[in-house]
Structure 1
């Protein structure tokens, strides 16, 4: 991930794109064969004429399907059934340099959420991040780029409920052209971003960008 101008109550100043996976394991296994899937153009957002491309994806039908916001409650687990993700969530803060911290790389089935910002299900933009791989192989969000529009993301909350999100778009961005406001900007409804490394891969520098999932709240149980 890169920088942004502000999320929730705190600002993330600079988050290196290499923090969520270096692709080191690919060097011994062949990057072309084992590289994580990347989203196709068909999974990206549809941009209407004159629309501000730095804003979050907003489809009229998706807006009508949005559920009322939930009260704030920290999340405990994220599940994405279609890509076989079920992982606990830890709180992530900021490093001394102002960048978002990341889950320990050695715990490959662990994701994190930005706990100084919006909790998943309340009004605003909630952020979840996790590694695509570690030195030993695929990690929690290795298949994130294979996610399709309309897929369901479930987030278990500490209040005993589960927030249900529907995927609006899955996009990949080069690190040099990361749309900060589009990804991290405030939302008027409950939205979720799930982020990992992706894009082109270099043997010298690792992944060159990020895969970002855009989703909105459709219900709870």
Structure 2
């Protein structure tokens, strides 16, 4: 069982960093107390910028007869796809999420779209609703290729909130996202990690991905009374495993 939460004034936002906007080359990064990303999109794919190796020069024998052609080299073995972003993973067209269900931890909650506010941070879900999650509406929708960002409170002034038991998920756990187009996207968790908000790995959490991925984010760690904020963020990493029609 997860440790008992100390419920505080959730004037905090559950994450650190900045999020990605649809249409640019990558995913933003935004500081959240609740969640996410930044205002501009950054393409995060890593490219080898080292200069190409010089082409070897074949020495021609001092003879009127041409040297026999060298035997062709065997083709290089193909590189294995990165885990967990294997080529050929399933993906869906855009469709707004309507409900998230995680029976393992008792989650069954509707979605509200979230946008980046005047401060440049992603606005959190309303603090007065304990059973509500938000998704970054300018990013990809859950099930599309890319990393979809979903955030929720761990607690409110009146008690535990929707993601209070998010830390109980483990690799192999599943998350269902019910979408407006009538499909259900089932994601399989492959990592659950806690990060300090002061050293949040924006690139790792918010970077663009070639496969359909999901990030669930909430607050964690010690509650700081001075800042009225939690010191850490809990992030659940998941990938699309299967889809079905409702």
- The TM tier, using the shorter chain, reads 0.7 to 0.9
Distance 2:135 2:151 in 1: 6
SS at structure 2 position matched to 1:82: helix
Alpha-carbon contact 1:91-1:115 (below 8 Å) kept = yes
Is 2:224 aligned against 1:202?
yes
Query: What is the CA RMSD across the aligned residues, in angstroms?
Result: 2.2
CA positional deviation for 1:14:
4.8
Instruction: Give the number of the structure whose alpha-carbon radius of gyration is greater.
Output: 2
Is 1:219 the counterpart of 2:242? The answer is yes
Shift of 1:8: 3.4
- In 2, the alpha carbon distance for the partners of 1:64 and 1:189 equals 7
Which residue pairs with 2:184 in the alignment?
Answer: 162
- How does the TM-score come out when normalised to structure 1? 0.76
Over residues 184-217 of structure 1, what are the superposed CA-to-partner deviations in whole Å (9 max), with x where a residue is unaligned?
Answer: 1100100000000002333333310100000000
Q: Is the 8 A contact 2:113 2:137 kept in 1?
A: yes
CA offsets 1:4-52 (integer angstroms, 9 cap, x no match): 37453477665342x58xxxxxxxxxxxxxxxxxxxxxxxxxxxxxxxx
Alignment partner of 1:120 is 2:142: yes
More helix by share: 1
Q: Report the CA distance shift for 1:63/1:2 in structure 2 as closer, same or farther (over 3 A).
A: closer
> Tell me, which stretches of 5 or more residues in structure 2 are unaligned?
1-14, 36-80
The two structures have a TM-score, normalised by structure 2, of 0.68
Alignment of 1:175-194 (within 5 A): 175-194=197-216
Deviation at 1:124, TM superposition (A): 0.3
What aligned pairs does 1:78-97 form with structure 2 within 5 A after superposition? 78-97=100-119
Select which of 117, 124, 135 maps to 1:102: 124
Describe the shift of the 1:156–1:65 C-alpha distance in structure 2 as closer, same or farther (beyond 3 A): farther
The DSSP-based 3-state class of the residue aligned with 1:187 is coil
Task: Tell me if structure 2 keeps the 8 A contact 1:7–1:186.
Answer: no
Query: In 1, are the aligned partners of 2:147 and 2:209 still within 8 Å (CA)?
Result: yes
Greater RCO, CA 8 A, separation 6+: 1
Contact 1:7 1:184 survives alignment (8 Å): no
